[in-house]
Structure 1
């Protein structure tokens, strides 16, 4: 590990989602003591590959020599290397997402590289923007209740988070995918809004996700990766559903107060011209 202490803000942010859902990964790296080194991240990558048989690119220290290869960041990943900065929350959390959701991260990388090959590294397509938004700020929502989707469609945040608060982790559950959202969650006062892919699910599948199980992670990882590979998702940023994560019961202390859903700036009304794709069917 690095000699520098891991700079952790108020510790209670690790006691609630989304960071609490990553407790096993943090425990594997002992982040409460020192920053994990690139070598330790690599050791954990090898362990995961041996466990599930899913390949992941190597974590390599970002250096001038590495960047001198002239490759786009995504092209370098396609070649098997993720440029990773030492002692950096953003890159540490990105590594943890690679460890948990390797299929989805690989599908994103492949789709990005296909677009880069088509338009060049200096241009960005609408699909590339959508993929970047999801990679950085994405979440995956599983829902077994169409009425909850209807509330979400209308940005009825009071209904979704307050009147139907009993449905959370029973009929609807969320997995945070974007490492930038996880980084923002280190600041206890921040309101978190994710850009989401919605999946239709059974109550049993929602329960697996709500329990934060490896089985649930693997199921979601496979479904989202397949959708990305099929080209049915992330074609445009407007297809991503915004979800104020801070409204989910237990994710922010203020969500226990009904007035929060009228006062907080993260609960924005629906634009007149905004429509969302329906949840992806299994």
Structure 2
């Protein structure tokens, strides 16, 4: 959700380029902050309830030092979004600028990048790019097939036959996206589901930018949804615990994420307020 999000770019491409990447970047800021605050609140409640000991305050000086050390990396998002908004460069050009800036910072400021690591990162980036480009290449054909088969129209008719209340229908769409998100990664799901659900959402009165935020939030929650969520398995492997044990602790955080999802779905201004300031 927090820009610069590559999933926002993939959603824009899957939507046929009709949804502004800049608007999507801005639309993800407030929902992302809201999600972070909700998860912090859930963490605090769990810590208080279980009696976890609190740490000592490190002091303002140490916080300032840590902020200064992190500032060069944090500036990358500001440079990308600010450059796009000011018209200095396009959204496509921003990716190249971000790479150059990151390499310079990693090599000369943090001194964590050498030639061997650079070549390894380049090979990994090439593999990832090839995978994503293959998915995107298939997206155009898939979107065309969906349009020819009138799948969005049939989906809209099926949903409207259930209820005429947009909130009820959006709740159904959310549930479908959540279930799909437990089985697949976000990028291919965005490519597959956008041509199907975006026309339905716009017909029901939801802005395409807002729907992009709702979709990405849904699929992100799906990645940690038991019992199949891929990120849940990774987290359990890192923590050395079983899925069954994690299920007893995940619900406060899951409920916090679902609450934010409902708010973003029901209140358009949460995602559309910031982009509206720059129209």
TM-score normalized by the length of structure 2: 0.26
Between Structure 1 and Structure 2, whose CA radius of gyration is higher?
Answer: 2
Return the structure number with greater relative CO, CA threshold 8 A, min gap 6.
2
Structure with the larger helix share:
2
TM-score normalized by the length of structure 1: 0.26
